[in-house]
Structure formats: C-alpha cells, structure tokens
Structure 1
C-alpha cells in the first residue's frame, strides 16, 4: 500500500473513531510501528491530525469546512456506495440537478450511459466529468467559488423558475432531525434553497459523518426533503429517528 493510500485509510478511521490509541491504530492499519509513526508525522505536519498522549485524533478544520480536494478523497468508498444508490433512482429522460459537492461528483461518474438525460449543475468537476458524454448539460451561471470549484448565482443572472427539475441531488455539511440540512456558505445555501423549491423530488446525498451536525447556515427542514441517502456506517440512533419522520432514509451498501 502506498503512503498516500495508508494515510487516507488512517483519516477515514479517525473520521469514525475520532480518537485512536497507537496499538489499535497499528492493528487496524496492519503496518509496522515505524511506518505508522512516519505516516502520523506526515499527516500531523499537514495539519490533518493531532498527536495526543498515546495516540492521535482528527484535527478540527480551521475555518469549519475542509477543502474540496480533501473532501474528494475522504470517505470515498462510502460516497461511491451513495452514488450507486442515487444512480439507481435516475431514469432515462429525467432532468436532474447535481449539486456542487464531492458526493454528487461521484454520481456524475455513473450516469454517463443514461439516454436522454439532462443535467443541470453548478459544479465545475461535474461539468468536466460529463463534458464529453451524450448528456445534455445546463450550467448555472454566476460567480465562481474557486475553493469549492462551484458557481453561485443570483436571480438577476439566472431565471431559476424556468427550470423543470424532476430530481435534485443536494449535498449538505450537516443533518439533524430537528433542524434539517445545513451548510457552511450562505451563497451555496441560497442556491440550494431555490433548487429544492423548484424540484419535484429532493435527494440529499451525504455520508454518515454529516449526521448530528448543524453547521453555519440552515438550508431547509426535512419536511422539504424526500430522501436522505447515506452509507451503512450511519448510527442506529439516526435510523430510529428517521422512522418518525416522513423523509425516507436510504442506507447504501446494504
């Protein structure tokens, strides 16, 4: 296993466990203690983890939200499972919206062979992924957020109400039963609110690490969301909570 692969695996483990002692981490990684220390030193130098007495923990993001580049590799297996589940709900002839985010980007990889599919998006990675496919692409115009590789728009730049979206696939940085879905950026949240209002069906595609978090900006309550698609690492307590609301929780990979 390459160092970058080992280090990604370590980050994924810490995303779930939060704090790990050296013996447990070495056992999970199946590597020597010297290799483990080298990887820990490399990740600590990058600011991704913090050393604690006898172990390590995940470093808190300095500005709340980690970069798109990091999100593209974090929880990749879980996001792939989520994307496959979302793909199964996309039919030929649909007009769908793919939000800007690392999970919706994975969805784009699985829909290239769909016939007569229209994709509306504000995601630069989604645009590049589908550029040479047979899919009809509609790009929302506006201000480019370079760090998020997305476009945020305003009513005077784009007539949202002319859109007829069957299914919207939305990302979120936080999901709670009480507050619904939330994100870190106001402009991204406003665009998502508009798309949710215009869509016949709304799917929130979010890995299990987003559950139980209510971050900076509220997007919408769960009463405006038809489905939440997540991975099989979601805690049982959240599954039970979703049984009490109308929003359906889909657990991918099961």
Structure 2
C-alpha cells in the first residue's frame, strides 16, 4: 500500500471510530510502528489529526461537524441554494435528495409539486415531506445517527428500475482537479450509487466547500452536471468552471 493510500485509510478509519490506538492502527494497516509514526507525523503536520496518549484522533477543525451545527450554520445561504435547486424540479419528476443540511432545505420548497417522487435516506427530509402529497421512497440500510441518515449497502440497493431524473447531492469538499468529496465512506457509497443511476447530477453546496479535498472521493467533475452555491463563492472559481463541462450556478 502506498503512503498516500495508507494515510487516506487512516483518516477513513478515524471518521468511523473517532479515536484509534497505535497498536490497532499498525495491525489494521499491516505496517511497522516506525512507518506508522512517520504517517502520523505527516498527517499531524497537515493539521488533519491530533496525537493523544497512546493514539490519535481527527483534528477538531478537520473532522465533519455535527448535523445539528450544520443545520444552523450558513442557514441563509443554504436556503437560497435550496430555492434555486427547487427550480430544477418539474412536476412528475423522480428525484433523489441526499442527506445533508443543504439538501434538506430543498424539501421545504417542493411540497407544491405535482406527482413528484422523492427517493431519500435523510430522516429530516422524510419528516419534512411525510404529510405532503409527494411519494416517498426510503433507502434501506443502516442508520447513521450523527448524520440522521440511512446509508445503503449494495445488496439492498435495488433502484435500477426507477427512472431517477435528478440527484441532488451534498458534499464536504469541491475542487476542479478532484471533483467532490466527503468525510464518511458509507455516505460516499450511497452518493456514488445515486450519481450512477441518475440522468442529471446537481450538487448543492455552500461556498465554504470550495477548494477542499477531504477524506473520501465521491465523483470527478465530469460526472457533475451542475453545482449550485451561494454568492460568497471565491470569484476565482468562476473562470475555472468555464473550462469544465460543469455548470456553476450562483443562488441569490
């Protein structure tokens, strides 16, 4: 395993277990303690992890913030993004709404749509649309309590017969070079599957996500049709996106 692959796996493990002991890591990665120490020294120097007694944890500023915090952070921008996203949705569509604080807001603006089918693994989206006339299809799988979502496993993910026109995807990082990324491997698996099944992929992400490439790669830029973001996005990205096939939409 290459050093970069080891370090990425280490970060993946930390998103699940939060704290890892040195002996656990050495055994999991099948490497010597000296090699492990070198990787830890590098990741700590990058500000991605913190050393603790006998082990490591994700740095507070590097790990994914809680769903509760994200529901209120940058709320005005997320609502603007959601309203803009709702303009892409037509009566009769079958769409996927991802788990996430920005995509959740979309549910508030689509209740008037006619003959709309929504596929989701987001518990807040389900609760928002439960008493509407929208037909809801819920992904089966494991409950991620911290994300308030259901993450799917391949053997129970059987949506290939559905004509999913549009997928509204969340992410934690966006770069031109690497595409979109997230912190959790299980969330990424669901997102990759829905991107594969959907005719059109729309990423809903506030401007703080730009320029970040976090733990788990989800999709390269060529798989993304549109990114909807807020007015605070660095204007340097506008010219860069003109060189890609991805449409960058500013919600205002």
Category of TM-score, reference length = shorter chain:
0.7 to 0.9
SS in 1 for 2:217: strand
- The residue number in structure 2 matching 1:153 is 152
- The residue number in structure 2 matching 1:140 is 139
Shift >6 Å, 4+ stretches: none
Deviation of 1:186 after TM superposition, in Å, equals 0.4
Is 1:124 aligned to 2:97, yes or no? no
Could you tell me which runs of 5 or more consecutive residues in structure 1 were left unpaired when the two chains were aligned.
Answer: 1-59
Q: Deviations over 1:80-131 (max 9, x none)?
A: 1100100111000000000000001100000011110000000000000000
- The residue number in structure 2 matching 1:113 is 112
What is the CA–CA distance in structure 1 between the aligned matches of 2:245 and 2:133, rounded to whole Å?
A: 36
Q: Deviations over 1:206-249 (max 9, x none)?
A: 00000000000000001000000000000110111101101000
What is the CA–CA distance in structure 2 between the aligned matches of 1:192 and 1:203, rounded to whole Å?
A: 12
SS in 2 for 1:235: coil
- The residue number in structure 1 matching 2:86 is 87
What is the CA–CA distance in structure 2 between the aligned matches of 1:225 and 1:209, rounded to whole Å?
A: 18
What is the CA–CA distance in structure 2 between the aligned matches of 1:89 and 1:160, rounded to whole Å?
A: 22
Is the CA contact (8 Å cut-off) linking 1:208 and 1:234 kept in structure 2? yes
Is 1:230 aligned to 2:245, yes or no? no
What is the CA–CA distance in structure 1 between the aligned matches of 2:141 and 2:164, rounded to whole Å?
A: 19
Deviation of 1:63 after TM superposition, in Å, equals 5.7
Alignment of 1:195-234 (within 5 A): 195-234=194-233
Q: Deviations over 1:34-87 (max 9, x none)?
A: xxxxxxxxxxxxxxxxxxxxxxxxxx7356100000000001010011001001
What is the CA–CA distance in structure 2 between the aligned matches of 1:204 and 1:105, rounded to whole Å?
A: 13
Alignment of 1:20-169 (within 5 A): 61=60, 64-169=63-168
- The residue number in structure 2 matching 1:242 is 241
What is the CA–CA distance in structure 1 between the aligned matches of 2:197 and 2:118, rounded to whole Å?
A: 15
Deviation of 1:162 after TM superposition, in Å, equals 2.4
Is 1:194 aligned to 2:193, yes or no? yes
Question: CA 1:146–1:121 in structure 2 vs 1: closer, same or farther (change >3 Å)?
Answer: same
Deviation of 1:150 after TM superposition, in Å, equals 0.3
Could you tell me which runs of 5 or more consecutive residues in structure 2 were left unpaired when the two chains were aligned.
Answer: 1-58
What is the CA–CA distance in structure 2 between the aligned matches of 1:249 and 1:121, rounded to whole Å?
A: 24
Is the CA contact (8 Å cut-off) linking 1:94 and 1:166 kept in structure 2? yes
What is the CA–CA distance in structure 2 between the aligned matches of 1:252 and 1:203, rounded to whole Å?
A: 13
- The residue number in structure 1 matching 2:176 is 177
SS in 2 for 1:156: helix
